[in-house]
Amino acid sequence: MTIQDPMICPKCHEVHDYHYDCDPDERRFQMTNEIGLALDEYEATRPARLDYAVQPFIDVRRLTAGENCKFFGPIVITGDRKKLRIGDNVRIDAFVKIEIGDGVTIGDNTHIASFAHINIGGGTLTLGRNNGIASGVRIVTGGNKVDEVAMTVTAPLHEQGLTYKDSVVIEDNVSILVNSVVLPGSHICAGSRLAAGGVLTGKAIPPNEIWGGVPAKFIRKRGA
């Protein structure tokens, strides 16, 4: 199978990312188990456009991961699998979505619970060891600039204007609790917690502290 250049639609010859909007056969194909094969062909030809060209369910048996990892149910992973590093004893629950983007590292013994959406915007995310990423957490590492005309990938490129990326680093023994949002540029130091529903706005949480709220602020020292 040949995958067309995602920027030039083979049907309408317009420039747009999701060319399969004009091609029902392509849309059906991406839902089959053969997507891994298509992805390999695509990686060989157009690696730079991989993120937004296809949105596959990846067969987790094709992932490279450490020892004793567990993947439960359907997990959506988009991007270049060579930039996804998964350590030992990692657990990823059903309905997690990971955008690999410029690179995602998941350290040993880390658990990502259902409905978490990891690395939105396709920058770089580093998750250390023993991290708990609770249900519904969103970690964002890039996106459209808020002052541009449109902020969606489906808008014409000239109206989307500038995009940006800023990496997120989560050190060891961190827990990001249910429904929290971590925005680009954030850094959570070892042993800290982001309380349920918190929004961390690109700040650095020092070690062993509990932060929460919108925007997230210091609540107390852990163990205090």
Residues found near ligand COA in the complex (CB under 6 A)? 132, 134, 177-178, 193, 195-198, 210, 212-213, 219
Least distance to ligand COA, CB of residue 213, Å: 4
Rounded to whole angstroms, what are the CA distances from 186 to 71, 199, 203, 212?
27, 10, 5, 14
Cα-Cα-Cα-Cα dihedral of 23, 11, 18, 52, to 10°? 100
Nearer to ligand COA, 189 or 210 (CB): 210
CB of residue 95 vs ligand COA: minimum separation in angstroms? Answer: 16
Q: CB–CB of 198/218 below 8 Å?
A: no
Q: State the Cα angle at 22 between 19 and 26, rounded to 5°.
A: 70
Please identify, using beta-carbon distances, which residue of 70 and 82 lies nearer to ligand COA.
Answer: 70
CB of 124 to ligand COA, least distance (A): 25
Q: How far is the CB of 210 from ligand COA (least distance, A)?
A: 5
Residues contacting 127, CB < 8 A, separation 6+: 104, 105, 106, 107, 110, 133, 170
71/211 with CB nearer ligand COA = 211
Nearer to ligand COA by Cβ, of 39 and 116: the residue is 116
**Shortest distance in whole angstroms from residue 134 CB to ligand COA:** 4
Nearer to ligand COA, 7 or 190 (CB): 190
The phi, psi pair for 64, rounded to 5°, reads -100, 120
